[in-house]
């Protein structure tokens, strides 16, 4: 979905957040977010939270657009109970917010029907394996496996610097409660929940390391935050291990080209891939791997092709 600047004319003075709620159908939280992100402008000036508006304004908002090439994403595997998709980066797993966002959920349900559901979520920027149920019976069983951590998920990432040894990162993390343009980021905090990430180096090339990561807990942005915390940010990450100015630019510029993304964040996209998924279901053992995820770095792609490290 692209951002489009839409002009509106307001006849009578009204508080900005009330106009967004009454005329644009926003909740109070959504109106607040629009104002915090400076998406409502008048005379090229962002409207403040408590300001009354009148006259011509411009609202930056999502407008649905078709993305036909995404309709052709095929499942990596499927049977009568579940399917597996190898999600590309920059695709949502589920719709987000009140606006329509194209997502893997659309692809899944158009192929397998309305009872099909993704059983876990990957960040929009993260590529890799997503397990989905096809019917209510399998959903209940697979959800139980997921909740009991009987489904093993492993990630591959390319990080800055040289990682010489296996590291267990055990810093508690939490999502931020205060509102703001960077509140999407999780933080390390003693008030947070226990979070454990095990990383293991696989290959090194020109001051970057290919690692295998196990998220031993399932916190938001856990691997990204933990890697940045120990000084090995994931290449291409626009939120962790980079300046707030760069993160803000990324959040306010949703259609960066791959070359722009690489210039700002060191890679054309977030180099984090949900690479392996292993579980037992109805007497059978399943082990899946994502397709080689980092083709723009052929030295690491060659590692995937020549090693059976998992």
96-126 pLDDT, tens per residue?
A: 654 456 788 888 888 898 889 999 999 999 9
Say whether both 71 and 145 belong to one domain: yes
Same domain, 145 and 180: no
Quick check: 1 pLDDT over 80? no
Q: Which residue has better confidence, 309 or 198?
A: 198
* Mean predicted lDDT score pLDDT of the chain: 88
Query: Is residue 123 annotated as part of the catalytic site, yes or no?
Result: yes
Which pLDDT score is estimated for 28? 81
Lowest-pLDDT range, 67-81, 91-105, 221-235? 91-105
Task: Convert the pLDDT of each residue in 266-306 to its tens digit.
Answer: 999 999 999 999 999 999 999 999 997 888 888 888 788 77
Instruction: Please report where in the chains the tokens 């192929």 appear, as a residue.
Output: 111
Structure confidence by residue, pLDDT tens digits, 152-189? 999 999 999 999 999 999 999 999 877 777 889 999 99
Q: Active-site residue among 81, 123, 181, 207?
A: 123
Asked whether residue 138 falls in the same domain as residue 86, the answer is yes
- Domain membership flag for residue 280: no
Residues 101, 135 within the same domain:
yes
Tell me what the mean pLDDT of segment 218-241 comes to.
96
pLDDT digits (tens, 9 = 90+) for 182-194: 889 999 999 999 9
Average of pLDDT values for 247-254? 90
- pTM of the full structure: 0.75
Any domain includes 258: yes
Domain-ending residue, one of 107, 124, 150: 150
Look at the alpha carbons of 227, 230, 236, 242 in this order and tell me if their dihedral is positive or negative: positive
Boundary residue ending a domain (150, 182, 202): 150
Give the bridge partners for 8, in sequence order. 57
| 219: exposed, middle or buried (Cβ count in 10 Å: 0-12, 13-18, 19+) | buried
- Quick one: pLDDT at residue 309? 64
Is residue 109 a part of any domain in this protein?
yes
Domain membership of residue 279 (yes or no) is no
Nearest 5 degrees, angle CA 117-CA 123-CA 127? Answer: 85
Residues 164 and 227 in one domain: yes
Based on the fold, state whether residues 228 and 167 are members of the same structural domain: yes
Note whether 39 and 73 are same-domain residues.
no
Tell whether 164 and 261 lie within a shared domain.
Answer: yes
131, 278 contact by CB (below 8 A): no
Structure confidence at residue 4 (pLDDT): 67
Residues 92, 146 within the same domain? yes
Residue 90: is its pLDDT beyond 80? yes
Q: Which of 92, 98, 100 is nearest to 30 (CA)?
A: 98
220 vs 307, more confident: 220
Structural domain for 243, as ranges: 156-272
**How many structural domains are present in the chain?**
3
């Amino acid at each position: 979905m692209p951002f489009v600047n839409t002009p509106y004319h307001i006849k009578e003075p009204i508080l900005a957040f009330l106009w967004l709620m009454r005329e644009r159908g926003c909740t109070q939280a959504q109106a607040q977010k629009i104002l915090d992100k400076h998406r409502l402008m008048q005379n090229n000036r962002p409207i403040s939270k408590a300001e009354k508006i009148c006259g011509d304004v411009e609202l930056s908002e999502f407008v649905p657009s078709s993305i036909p090439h995404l309709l052709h994403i095929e499942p990596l595997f499927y049977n009568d109970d579940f399917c597996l998709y190898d999600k590309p980066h920059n695709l949502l797993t589920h719709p987000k917010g009140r606006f329509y966002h194209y997502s893997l959920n659309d692809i899944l349900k158009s192929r397998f029907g309305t009872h099909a559901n993704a059983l876990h979520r990957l960040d929009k920027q993260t590529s890799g394996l997503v397990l989905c149920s096809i019917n209510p019976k399998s959903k209940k069983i697979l959800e139980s496996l997921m909740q009991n951590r009987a489904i093993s998920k492993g990630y591959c990432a390319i990080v800055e610097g040289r990682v010489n040894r296996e590291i267990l990162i055990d810093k508690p993390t939490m999502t931020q409660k205060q509102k703001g343009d960077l509140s999407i980021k999780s933080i390390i905090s003693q008030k947070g929940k226990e979070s454990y990430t095990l990383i293991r180096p696989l290959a090194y090339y020109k001051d970057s390391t290919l690692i295998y990561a196990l998220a031993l807990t399932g916190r938001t942005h856990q691997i990204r935050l933990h890697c940045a915390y120990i000084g090995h940010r994931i290449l291409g990450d626009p939120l962790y291990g980079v300046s707030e100015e760069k993160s803000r630019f990324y959040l306010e510029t949703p259609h960066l080209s791959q070359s722009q993304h690489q210039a700002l964040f060191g890679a054309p996209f977030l180099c984090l891939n949900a690479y392996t998924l292993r579980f037992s279901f109805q007497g059978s053992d399943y082990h899946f791997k994502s397709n080689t995820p980092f083709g723009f770095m052929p030295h690491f792609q060659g590692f995937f092709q020549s090693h059976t490290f998992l």
